[in-house]
Amino acid sequence: MRPRDAATLILVDRRRGGLRVLMGRRNPSLAFMPGRFVFPGGRTEPGDRRMPVANALPDYAEAALARQVSRPPQDLGRMLALAAIRETFEETGLVVGTTAYGPPETVPQGWEAFGRHGVLPDLEALHLVARAITPPKRVRRFDTRFFTAERGAVAAEEPGRIGPDAELVELEWLRLDAARKLDLPFITRTMLDELEAQIAAGFAPYRQIPFHYERHGKRERVAL
């Protein structure tokens, strides 16, 4: 099964002293990672290519996202970053972006909430953390790019996205030590480690961006 392009956004809160990350527990009825704690995210959609933005991704992120990709489209980084922001809203109700530049002039399907709140996604507020591909022989496979942003990048919120019939049945801001004690997929636990290391490095643009995948049954970690 060929992996589908996907993106995840790790929201972090450092406002009260000590780092917290936003995590949700997936509905136990889902086929993919049922009942596991994860970061908000999902696959890309056509509207992610057309949504207006306030600012572009940092250059280092654009360059890293294009590496080890066969014939990457010119808008690959933009599309992936927007997918992470849109999926975060769909799963949590949090609208990530800015109102400083006025509302978007056009809003493609799936982005209506940003028009309602007058929010433009601000890609400059995102840092690229890592890339990871779901191992073979899984129910679903994704080629996922993990981004992070500060809680202050949330410009609006719509309640009612979490519940027994939703994709996420719980949503919590957790310290890293508490998050590591949860029932986590391997890659989610790995991303907590990658995030902590990159925060310690101050998200320096020269840092290595890790790429996780499995080859011949062995886990690999290389730099993009």
> Which of the pair, 137 or 77, is modelled with greater confidence?
77
Q: Which two tokens stand for residue 138?
A: 């899984």
Q: What average pLDDT does the chain have?
A: 94
* CA gap 16, 167 in Å, rounded: 29
Tens digit of each residue's pLDDT (9 = 90 or more) over 42-60: 999 999 999 999 999 999 9
Assign residue 99 a region: left if phi > 0, alpha if psi is -120 to 50, beta otherwise?
alpha
User: Does 197 score more than 90 pLDDT?
Assistant: yes
Q: Which of 77, 172, 175, 88 is nearest to 127 (CA)?
A: 77
Which DSSP letter does residue 65 get? Answer: H
Instruction: Provide the percentage of residues in the chain whose pLDDT is more than 90.
Output: 86
Q: With a cut of 80, say whether residue 85 has pLDDT above it.
A: yes
Q: For 205-214, what is each residue's pLDDT tens digit?
A: 999 999 999 9
